[in-house]
Structure 1
């Protein structure tokens, strides 16, 4: 059996995610008939002859003869693509989102004393702040269609429909900002109340059915998730897109990243070096920038804060408390090293 370290932290510690997304399936339709019918969007292959456009070595770039010889080489590519047909102008994306209770309840913990203190931390959070703020932010990320990612850019119209049992919400996504969570209305508030009820355990769980429509133009490309090809030597395609039973799709992980893009509590938010809301991550990592916005040196990362609060320290601020709880909702393996 693993031993807990001298700090009193569990060496085996994990939390199951409490917001669970399905994959997002992609369909084509028209804006006028979007409620009536939609056609599953298949992937298709393209084989193209591109040009050499990568940065060349100075010896080649500065020699006209070598440069001409290099750019004459064919850049042959076979890629996956997906698009609307020429009689469709609207992308439809559907997925489900389940919200569960017990955010601060470990799925595995080998230190009974630490587990008791984690549960106390969770109760302290509920008493002081509750899940209302987090629920509102998750609701706004549904309303603003952040989860469409690149498919959202340049859309003439954006609409999101959310259903749960006998309840239904309709959002015109351009009414809600991607840069902050200040704006709210009755529709957002009532959806947030349902999410809060599930997170706090007032109801056993909440299952939302989400449908988004983006009017992007006839025949326009759509952007499913791209598959990570680990063994590139054997594949003939340079880009492989994700599909489910022949239908172009978005990974559940990509949708989840968008829903949890609620962290405006990091130090650089609102400054020239910040990037607006970022996804809730232990180190505030934004991979496309190659930057971590929450570092142990600044004492703003999840582990620094969680270790303090889960061992009995009071929350330093509402912002820190919300961030720590949001990481637990995200889930993960957070055990301390037994060698420390």
Structure 2
């Protein structure tokens, strides 16, 4: 007997199954990777020019425009760059992969939990998390987590090793496009199988990922930028970068977002005009820098619509929808319907 919609739990949460650490940034040399210089943030005060869009009354009046552009645009910002004797950015983080996917950390309807466990077990037996594992491995190999630091890099090398085991992989990150997951090779497959087997099991494994991006001597690099909501009260800086123990770093959340950027199953992916390429697995397919949700509930392609069918023993006919639902469960989150609808 299928679970009624009203029997869905009001309390339902899943723990994240891919847990990256912060990524720490160092300067090194492409031909001598033993060099490792922790990157520090530098504070700069600069006098910029007025470049924002002006009101028509100002823009169309030469006198007002000249008066406006003469105003000093004073800024204090954080800045980070490689030393002059280092041509390569080195980034290190760890990634813990945890099994028992689909088992809620909290659920207040036992019948629902039992049926969900059965649905996840069916998926694991049929697909074995292989497609998801391959895509996570691909994002590691491509260095997608470098974000802006990947742009313009002459060469990228990604080293992956299992902590506590004598197993390593080395990838040429430039060989892997970040627009699709078409390329496959033995290293991608074996790393993907390790991730898939861990997700399907009940144990965990931790990977250490060290990435080298050749960007040339003294070039600017890009740690995460801090979000300061009361910027006017607590600081005069217009840009605040992230550091841990005085070492420039990238947020673990930002690395996690890159690793789970595997959703090519949303409807507009194949549209050359409206596609955003692979997007992070999110309940509504949200891409904040575009201000768009690619999985609108109105189109019945959002996580909650598909998850209700999946967990309610209503078969999802589309294999891709099942991959998507499982990828959001791996992401984790609070998915209960609440006390009020």
The interval holding the TM-score normalised by the smaller chain is over 0.9
Q: Is the 8 A contact 2:128 2:197 kept in 1?
A: no
Unaligned ranges ≥5, structure 1: none
Mapped partners of 1:94, 1:291: distance in 2:
32
Mapped partners of 1:316, 1:9: distance in 2:
22
State the aligned residue count: 335
Q: What residue in structure 1 maps to residue 106 of structure 2?
A: 108
Mapped partners of 2:322, 2:258: distance in 1:
21
Mapped partners of 1:331, 1:126: distance in 2:
17
Q: CA offset at residue 63 of structure 1? A: 1.1
Q: What residue in structure 1 maps to residue 321 of structure 2?
A: 320
Residue 294 (structure 2) pairs with residue 296 (structure 1): no
Q: Is the 8 A contact 1:91 1:214 kept in 2?
A: yes
RMSD of aligned Cα (Å): 1.2
Q: What residue in structure 1 maps to residue 211 of structure 2?
A: 212
Q: What residue in structure 1 maps to residue 54 of structure 2?
A: 56
Q: CA offset at residue 5 of structure 1? A: 8.8
Mapped partners of 1:254, 1:24: distance in 2:
9
Q: What residue in structure 2 maps to residue 337 of structure 1?
A: 338
- For residues 201-280 of structure 1, the aligned pairs below 5 Å read 201=201, 204-234=203-233, 235-271=235-271, 272-280=273-281
Q: Is the 8 A contact 1:139 1:191 kept in 2?
A: yes
* 56-65 vs 14-23, greater mean Cα deviation: 56-65
More helix by share: 2
Q: CA offset at residue 6 of structure 1? A: 5.4
Q: CA offset at residue 232 of structure 1? A: 1.4
Q: What residue in structure 2 maps to residue 311 of structure 1?
A: 312
Mapped partners of 1:220, 1:233: distance in 2:
30
Q: Is the 8 A contact 2:303 2:325 kept in 1?
A: yes
Unaligned ranges ≥5, structure 2: none
Match of 2:117 among 116, 119, 122: 119
Q: What residue in structure 2 maps to residue 134 of structure 1?
A: 132
Q: What residue in structure 2 maps to residue 23 of structure 1?
A: 22
Runs of 4 or more, structure 1, over 3 Å off, are none
Mapped partners of 1:6, 1:274: distance in 2:
33
What secondary structure, in the 3-state scheme, does the structure 2 residue paired with 1:154 have? coil
Q: Is the 8 A contact 1:129 1:318 kept in 2?
A: no
Q: What residue in structure 1 maps to residue 65 of structure 2?
A: 67
Mapped partners of 1:127, 1:168: distance in 2:
28
String of CA shifts for 1:240-279, please: whole Å, max 9, x gaps. 0000101000000000000000000000112121011101
